[in-house]
Amino acid sequence: MKITKTLCFFVAWSLSFSFLAQAIPGTLNWYNGIGTGMYTDVAYKKILNKKKATPVIVAVIDSGVDLEHEDLQGKIWTNTKEIPNNNKDDDGNGYVDDVHGWNFLGNAKGENQEKARLEKARIVKKYRDKFEGIDPQSLAYDPIQEMFQNAKNSLDEDVAQYEEYRGMIGKGVFDKETEEYLKDQLYYNLNPDYDDRSLIGDNHGVADAAVIMSVRTVPNGDENDKDVALAIRYAVDNGAKVINMSFGKSFSPYHDKVQEAIAYAASKDVLMIHAAGNDAADIDYTENFPKKPIFDYQDSTLRKMFLNIGASTRNPGDMLVASFSNFGVSEVDVFAPGLEIYNSVPQSDYKNLQGTSMASPMVAGVAALLKSRFPQASMLEISDAITRTTQKYDELSDKCIKGGVVNVLNAATYLNNLYK
């Protein structure tokens, strides 16, 4: 479905320059400063302001973009080959009226999927009749059965946390926010029998020169693997050089399709930036999808084109790593600011937010910024510039591959020397 107006939340820190709401004292733009910030302001003064900016398309695969937000005016990608609202696929790319991107969670009637099951609930529904009640020990090893059992165990644990509240819903016991949360969990996210595809079916403030392409794929629940794979391919085929993905999940039954899309993007020199997740877990040992491509050696080109980002704070020392951030010395590439981020939200408003979903667009913005000033550089070289020049911290030496926080000044200097 075409993107016509705001659908859900989108983080556009890299394009936000004016501020209306009150920021928490000490948090306004800290992430672009020195100290534990990314040294963006210094990079502009010393290097970037001296270079002409070339527009770079950044695809945001997420829950949607507020196309009418005041800070995004003039920053939204437009498909110039498409004539708006004529119900025709003018550019022949398979998507009718995709003027500003595509909504993989909508249909031709303008209806949108908002709620969805977690992937574990989908797996239980799909394989329940086949495996439930069967003793796993009586079967030869079957990876599908193992996935089902793991998903069912995890789902049962989650449901048990909320089951005692089921009978209290609608009785005036909870405030509105709590009531809606419980409904989401019990009626939708953790309900194997909720049909989250009935509506759409299965046919399917820093980077001043970034242009945002909205690709809506993430509902209130887990994203569908097929939607993610199609979204990546859509972004690549329509000119994106950077893809931000601030989402993730613990189960991915069709991850091979997502990996094929990731490989396709890498083959077209498109850099993918992915949030590491907010479970305070070591994702070297805990599943978090989509994953970095697996190769026999750490420094493979394909792995360089998919960066996992952890969240850092403005506080040095033991508090540098955000308490919620996932980590992994093999699976997380770098850290970037992700706590107390003063951010744009729908309805032209602003608020402080946190999460690796903040840190990921930080790095996507940096990638777009560097590409805009060094258009001759490949996205592989941009990836190297970002990861090879991090500000090193002892606290990150066992938390990520590069052991540091992204530093825009260092990365810009790296590229400046490369292209003297």
> What confidence tens digit (pLDDT) does each residue in 227-264 have?
999 999 999 999 999 999 999 999 999 999 999 999 99
Report which of residues 19 and 370 the model is more confident about: 370
**Domains in the chain: ranges and CATH:** 13-111+204-418 (3.40.50.200), 119-189 (no CATH)
pLDDT of residue 342: 75
How remote is the C-alpha of 99 from its chain's centroid? 22
Give the separation between CA 247 and CA 26, rounded to whole angstroms. 28
Please check the confidence at residue 5 and state whether its pLDDT lies above 50.
Answer: no
What tokens appear for 320 in the block? 């540098």
The pLDDT confidence band at residue 204, using thresholds 50, 70 and 90, is very low
Q: Across residues 65-86, what is the average pLDDT?
A: 73
pLDDT tens, residue by residue, 289-319: 999 998 656 568 899 999 999 999 999 999 9
**Mean pLDDT for the stretch of residues 395-411:** 97
360 close to 273: Cβ distance less than 8 angstroms? yes
**Tokens in use for 180?**
């809606």
Report the alpha-carbon distance of residue 171 to residue 406 in Å, rounded: 49
Q: Does 120 or 113 have the greater pLDDT score? A: 120
Q: Which amino acid is at 155?
A: L
pTM for the full predicted model: 0.81
Beta carbons within 10 angstroms of residue 383's beta carbon:
25
Return the sign of the alpha-carbon dihedral for residues 205, 409, 417, 307.
negative
